[in-house]
Each structure stands twice: as C-alpha cells, then as structure tokens.
Amino acid sequence: MKKGFVVRRITWLMIAAALFFSIMMPSQSVNASAKTPQKTFMVYYRAWRDQAMHGVNTSILDPNPQSMLDLPYGIDIINVFSYVPAGQEAKAQPFFDKLKTVYAPEMHRRGAKLVRALDYDHMVDGLIQQYGQHPTASEVDDYVRALIYELSGQWGLDGIDIDMEKQPSAERVALSDSIIRTMGQYLGPKAANGTLLIYDTNGSYLAPFKNVMAYFSKLGYQQYGSGPNRTEKMRQTYTATGFSQDQILAGLSFSEEGDQNRWYDTNPHHFLDSNMHTVAEFARQNLGGMFVYAVDRDGRTYAEPDFSHISKTTYRWTKTAILETKGYPLSDIKAAAYRYLKKIAPRLTPTQHQTLHQQIGQATNAFEVNSVFMKDDFNDAVDPNFDAVREIQMGM
C-alpha cells in the first residue's frame, strides 16, 4: 500500500475509547445468504477519491465522480484506506461524517464489513512515543483501546487491517506482538464478536506474524503484477506456519494515477491470460479469497488521460473477479444478464436488444458477460449498472 495512518497522541481518545468499549456489541453486519459462495472478496477503497472528499492527499483537482455506494455487490470486506495530510483534516471530515451515517450502514446492510488500515511502523512508533520502549500491560491496553476507537470504533466500523511491508527488528517485533495480542482481545477471531483483525503484507518475513497469527481473521498478500506462481509460493510459506489457506487472500492492484509502478494485472484483450483471471481462479481453488487495491481505479490504464486524471469506473474487472473468486456458475451469470436485459429493454431498439441477447448467449466466461453491458470507459458502456451478483441476490 502507499500510505497508512499516522498514530496521534490524543489523550481524550482514551476516555472516548473506554466509553466505546463499555457499550461495544458484536458487529451488526447482515449475514450473507446461505446460498452465497463462501470465498471472501476484499477491496481497498481510497477515501480521498470519494465524492465526499476533495483536494485531500492529491495534486489532481479533477472532481471525484463516485462514492462508496457505487461499489459492486458481493464485496465482503471494505478497507477504508485513507491518508489525510496535516492541515487537510477539515476537507476530509465530510467523508468521515458520511462514512458513519451513510456508507457504513449501507455496506452493513449489503452484508459487508469495513476496516481501516494501520501501518505497522506507525502502530509501533505510536506506542513508543507514548509509553517508551518498555510499556506495561496496562499501558499497551490503553493504547490499543484508543487506537481501535480512533480508527474504527467511532465510525461504526468492524476492525483494523495492519499493513506490514518491512522487516522489523526483534525488539520491534516484541512490541508489535504485545500490541496484537492485546488488540486481539477486542478484534478478530479471539474476540468472537464479529469484528476483524487482518494482517496484510507483500513479503514472506514471518517474524512479525508467526507468534500472533492466531489473532488474525485473514492474511492479505499483496502480489501486485504477479500471477499464480507467486501465489503458490506464498501459500506454501504461510501455511507452513500452521495458518490456514482458507484465511489467505491474494491481492492485485489497479493502476493509480501518477504512480510509476507498472502492475498490468488487467488485460482486456487477453482476459484469460490476465493476472486478474488467473489469480481469481487460483484463489477460488486454493485460498480463502482475493482482494484488489485501488478499486476506484478499476479499468484505468497507465496512459493519458488516465495517468493524470480521475474518471468514473464501471467496475467491470472487480465485478468479474468477484464472480470468479466466489465461483458463480456461468449459467447463473447469464441468467442474471438476461434478466437485466429485460429490465432495460424499453430503452433499446429491437436490433440492439437482439444483439445484446446474442452476445450474452455467446459469452464463454464472466468477463464476456459483463462486457456485454460494460466497457472500461464509463461513457461507452451500454449500461454500467449491471451487477450480476446483485441480480442473483435479488432472486431470479
């Protein structure tokens, strides 16, 4: 990931956290239907590109054309990924207000859970800055409770995702082990209250993970720009520690604006060879699921105008990855497409309707079905609102 959260020394948060935990109840997220495939799909949603936030953490002043409400159905975990530079808090506040009052309740209604990202170094440094190198158990507990409230609890969210991209010393690992064991009393599988504690990483340095892995709900592996061969190596590494492959999510990325990295995880001309397809298939067969980073950049390229501008997405790739990771049968996806075609038929000419009907019938995979209605360019889509998972959940 690019940026995490700065841990602030705010004493009043400890008081607020105490109040929060005194009334903390299990997550109110709606349970998915028993018929819904059990694989997990997670997205990293960059808050600074939401409609409710403008001019934060960016030099690109294009308006943000979409909101969290536009995310596809079938997403199980939304990582609300945000970095707010000092002095821009007022600009960011409308988003967080809407997160609490609108976005989180709606995503919970859909059956999704929401977490916030926490950078590993910031997590450890925050403890050291506040209590020194040898904090007591009580001090660690105070720190953790305030941290959970600051990042998650005050917004009505469901947990924290710890972002690990370093190789910390043994001394720092000892501190992080203490933090995670304490955090695990309130979040994740040990807490048994419906909350989540996630560990995500881009490497195989096991020291910060192996002693505390029982406290994590999921492990997300950032393998941007890589196919199933790397996924399998990762699977072997982490399952060798005793961590279940059913808790592991393989992660790919869309192209961020202004970013010099070149992942090329999508390829609309050769879908079956794209990482987005091959990793989704691997995850369905061998892991607990999959995630995508910068979901708001779905379908964007590294060329102009995408590289320097913001535009609305149809979520064609994310919708496809959800269907493939969760293993929806092609017959069900086509049935959803036919049903949706019937809904929009009144605004189509007979020739258009016939053409689209034929394209659905001829489709050989989920991407081709989605492509009947959607292109990566929002303005070229026949209907960018087609969402097979939503149609299936509505009942056909």
Using a 10 angstrom Cβ sphere, with 0-12 exposed, 13-18 middle and 19 or more buried, the burial of residue 301 is middle
Please choose, from the candidates 214, 365, 263, 385, the residue with its C-alpha nearest in 3D space to the C-alpha of residue 314.
385
Total residue count of the chain as it appears in this document: 396
In three-state secondary structure terms, 328 is: coil
d(CA 85, CA 230): 34
**Ramachandran assignment for 3, one of left (phi > 0), alpha (psi -120 to 50 degrees), beta (any other):** beta
d(CA 74, CA 336): 14
d(CA 4, CA 83): 6
d(CA 265, CA 286): 19
Select which of 89, 139, 150, 165 is catalytic.
Answer: 165
Radius of gyration for the chain, computed over Cα atoms and rounded to the nearest angstrom: 21
Task: Using the Cα atoms of residue 119, residue 124, residue 127 and residue 130 in order, give the sign of their dihedral.
Answer: negative
For residue 395, report the phi and psi dihedrals to the nearest 5 degrees.
90, 135
d(CA 178, CA 184): 10
Are 162 and 199 in contact, with CB atoms under 8 Å apart? Answer: yes
- Per DSSP, the chain holds a count of helices (H) and strands (E) of 14, 8
Does residue 89 carry a catalytic annotation? no
Residues 6+ apart with CB under 8 A from 280: 290, 320, 321, 324, 325
d(CA 75, CA 390): 11
The DSSP-derived string for 41-56 is: EEEEEEGGGSTT--SS
d(CA 358, CA 318): 24
d(CA 270, CA 316): 15
Are 256 and 224 in contact, with CB atoms under 8 Å apart? Answer: no
Catalytic residues: 165
